[in-house]
């Protein structure tokens, strides 16, 4: 099953999109900010990452640079 990491700081949107991904047959894992997203991506090794670009602590652009490095 395809594992998707959803990185979103808005709680309601994170839950809604995570539920929608699961209902479509994906394994959805979530993170609430860029820093947590990087940690989760390293630990879980998802097939795809959907990431908000504007988040607290570490924005999506910074998190993407860290993951690419």
Secondary structure of residue 19 in the 3-state scheme: helix
CA angle 44, 67, 17 (to 5 degrees): 55
| 40 phi/psi in degrees, rounded to 5 | -70, -40
Give the pLDDT confidence score for residue 3 in this predicted structure: 98
| 13 phi/psi in degrees, rounded to 5 | -65, -40
Is this prediction's pTM over 0.85? Answer: yes
Give the pLDDT confidence score for residue 57 in this predicted structure: 84
CA angle 67, 35, 9 (to 5 degrees): 115
| 12 phi/psi in degrees, rounded to 5 | -60, -45
Per-residue pLDDT of the chain (69 residues; tens, 9 = 90+): 899 999 999 999 999 999 999 999 999 999 999 999 999 999 999 999 999 998 888 888 999 999 999
């Amino acid at each position: 099953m395809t594992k998707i990491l959803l990185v979103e700081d808005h709680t309601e949107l994170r839950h809604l999109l995570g539920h929608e991904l699961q209902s479509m047959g994906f394994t959805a894992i979530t993170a609430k900010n860029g820093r947590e997203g990087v940690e989760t991506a390293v630990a879980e090794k998802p097939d795809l990452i959907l990431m908000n670009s504007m988040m607290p602590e570490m924005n999506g652009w910074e998190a993407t640079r860290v993951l690419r490095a």
